[in-house]
Amino acid sequence: MADEDSFIKDPAARLDYTWDWSKWLADVADTISSAMVVVPAGLTAVGPPVVSDTAVTQRVEGGTLDSVHTLVCQIITAGGLIDERSIHLTIADR
């Protein structure tokens, strides 16, 4: 995964967005201990983020047409490292 990804989301869609940390975690020989996803005003997080071995997934709904929102995922590793990545959502009819 690149440090920042961009997607187009319909305002009526409820979709999952995933941050794949596998390469970075392998490089630092660590695992995800906890994760937090910041969902900006205008979007709604549907439930908490789901953490797997090397990925974090957040379900999101809403958005206003022609707006751009940035979701930020921050992880803390078992070894105490902290990092974050962003996903940009452009809201458009699909």
For the chain, what is the mean pLDDT? 95
Q: What is the model's pLDDT at position 2?
A: 47
Considering its fold, how many domains does the chain have in total?
1
* Longest CA span, the chain: 43
Containing structural domain, residue 45? 4-91
pLDDT tens for 1-32 read: 445 799 999 999 999 999 999 999 999 999 99
Q: What is the model's pLDDT at position 49?
A: 98
Specify the CATH number for the domain of residue 64: 2.60.40.10
pLDDT tens for 36-50 read: 999 999 999 999 999
Distance separating the N- and C-terminal Cα atoms of the chain: 24
